[in-house]
Amino acid sequence: MDFHVSLVGRKDLSGEIYRQLRRAIVNGRLRHGEVLPPTRELAQHLSVARTTVTVAYDRLAGEGFVTSRVGAGTFVNDHGARAPHETKRRRVDGALRPLRIWDSIPVSAAFIRPAQFDFRTGLPDASLFPHDRWRRLMSRQLRSEAVRAGVYGDPAGYLGLREAIARHIGVARGVEASADDVTVVSGTQQALDVVARSLLTPADRVAVEDPGYQPARWLFESLGARVNGVPVDQHGLVVDALPRHARLVYVTPSHQYPLGVSMALSRRRALLAWAERNHAAIVEDDYDSEFRFGGRPIEPLQTIDTIGQVVYVGSFSKTMLPTLRLGFVVTPPSLRAAVHKAKQVTDWHTATPLQMALARFMDDGGFARHIRKMREVYRIRHEMVTNALTGKLANHLEVLPSACGLHVAALARTASTDEIGAVVRRVAHAGVAVQELSQFAVNGPARPGLVLGYGAIPTQHIEEGLRRLRHCFGG
């Protein structure tokens, strides 16, 4: 293995090589069984005499830190790992200071600890994913000429995937888009990032739903935007409450996150009219639209936009796996070039083998079959959760109507926000993970209630998980 040894300005070269290697062994950077570079090779690398390196190795061997075997090499001994009298060199805190905005943005710990009964939102059922099929697709793409060529790809994304996405959203959602309108990104969060980079300047005003998806708010604030929460009622975003001079509005009209309501047609038309009057952009996150269990499908804003002010965002985190980090953004032609450039300066392009595998999966019908399979499983879980909320938990919670997606929200009938928080903590000790509705508040008062996802929890665990939740309410 290569090992860095600094000899600049040093006089005792052999002693310095010995000390730096010894420190690396003691600190665990060189682990038991690892082989050190041959003396001739390290000497050439450091531009010193071979004898200088040999003396250092002999000292290490004499103290039991390494063992040399003729014809095999010099290996780190277990004896040398973390001597008790040795400590790592303390690193100084550093003089650099980040912008103050990062003090207000938490690092998510939502999925660090697994739960026996997992009702957290944002998670699909990984057991339903076609792992074997996906492994074969990835293996094939890794052997393809496009990957073996080893060159950077188009920032817009792999053309085959952009074509497949355009066909899918055209058939499934009625979105009129060509492959040229599609940019492949690493999930919804990056979609929002490249759009914001293309449209916003520092101090621009952005409107988001309240309650709403907090990572979107944090992203806009990190770019210097002034973010205003706009209330959501049973018909969706309250358009009349939008702030004047907002440059961008971020909405989840098909299945509002976290309340689960769908934006009424009158509201969608009012929002489009407002955007036209105020020369504002609408970013439509078509969240969970693939999983509709009843009622008439909600027409995306993009399909009724006549002047090109809607940016349509989608993700494969729920339909495939969050770990794949794949999503897309559909832009009006006027924004296309800027979004491609924003993607390029961010990370150039999303991983090519992943894009190619997904394109093949979509083209051969595997993706559509996977969606149909998942939709039936989630429909059963949706019924089980809503039936429990309207039945045995009805004294404590009022479920909000929702006909699609992977979660439902319920308002507390009498409990306060603090009391709901206490229930969440008690039920966590019983192995049940749920989320407080109050954590999604932006500017407005926090609503006491719960948000329950059913994507990750096995169907056979739902009843017991909800029984434990009911017990923690005291009923």
Question: Per residue in 403-420, pLDDT tens?
Answer: 899 999 999 999 999 999
363 three-state secondary structure: helix
Q: Which residues contact 47 (CB under 8 A, 6 or more apart)?
A: none
Tell whether the model's pLDDT for residue 203 goes beyond 80.
Answer: yes
**Given this model, what pLDDT does residue 161 score?**
98
Question: Per residue in 344-403, pLDDT tens?
Answer: 999 999 999 999 999 999 999 999 999 999 999 999 999 999 999 999 999 999 999 988
Tell whether the model's pLDDT for residue 437 goes beyond 50.
Answer: yes
pTM metric for this prediction = 0.87
Three-state SS letters, 112-140: CCCCCEECCCCCCCHHHCCHHHHHHHHHH
Q: Report the amino acid identity of residue 98.
A: P
Question: Per residue in 59-72, pLDDT tens?
Answer: 999 999 999 988 88
Task: Round to whole Å and give the CA distance between 467 and 475.
Answer: 9
Parallel/antiparallel/unpaired status of strands 432-433 and 117-118: parallel
Task: Round to whole Å and give the CA distance between 463 and 475.
Answer: 15
20 three-state secondary structure: helix
Residue in this structure with the two tokens 């939008």, named with its chain if needed: 242
Question: Per residue in 287-344, pLDDT tens?
Answer: 888 898 877 778 899 999 999 999 999 999 999 999 999 999 999 999 999 999 999 9
Specify whether the CB–CB gap between 346 and 194 falls below 8 A: yes
Average pLDDT over residues 219-229: 97
Closest CA to 318 of 252, 270, 399, 239: 252
Average pLDDT over residues 54-62: 95
Sheet holding 246-251, edge to edge: 182-185, 327-330, 310-315, 281-285, 246-251, 205-210, 226-233, 236-237
Region of poorest pLDDT, from 30-39, 261-270, 286-295: 286-295
Q: What is the dihedral of CA 305, 308, 311, 312, to 10 degrees?
A: 50
| pLDDT category of residue 82 using cuts at 50, 70 and 90 | low
Parallel/antiparallel/unpaired status of strands 310-315 and 432-433: unpaired
State the average pLDDT for the chain: 93
375, with CB counted inside 10 A (0-12, 13-18, 19+), is: middle
Closest CA to 241 of 216, 207, 204, 215: 207
**Given this model, what pLDDT does residue 475 score?**
61
**Given this model, what pLDDT does residue 448 score?**
97
- Angle subtended at Cα 313 by Cα 310 and Cα 326, rounded to the nearest 5 degrees: 160
| pLDDT category of residue 3 using cuts at 50, 70 and 90 | confident
**Given this model, what pLDDT does residue 80 score?**
47
Tell whether the model's pLDDT for residue 31 goes beyond 60.
Answer: yes
**188-199 vs 333-347: helix axis angle to the nearest 10?**
110
Tell whether the model's pLDDT for residue 87 goes beyond 60.
Answer: no
The kind and range of the H/E element at 334 are helix 333-347
**Given this model, what pLDDT does residue 89 score?**
57
Domains and CATH numbers, the chain: 13-80 (1.10.10.10), 117-123+371-473 (3.90.1150.10), 131-368 (3.40.640.10)
Average pLDDT over residues 168-180: 95
Using only C-alpha atoms, what is the Rg of the chain?
Answer: 28
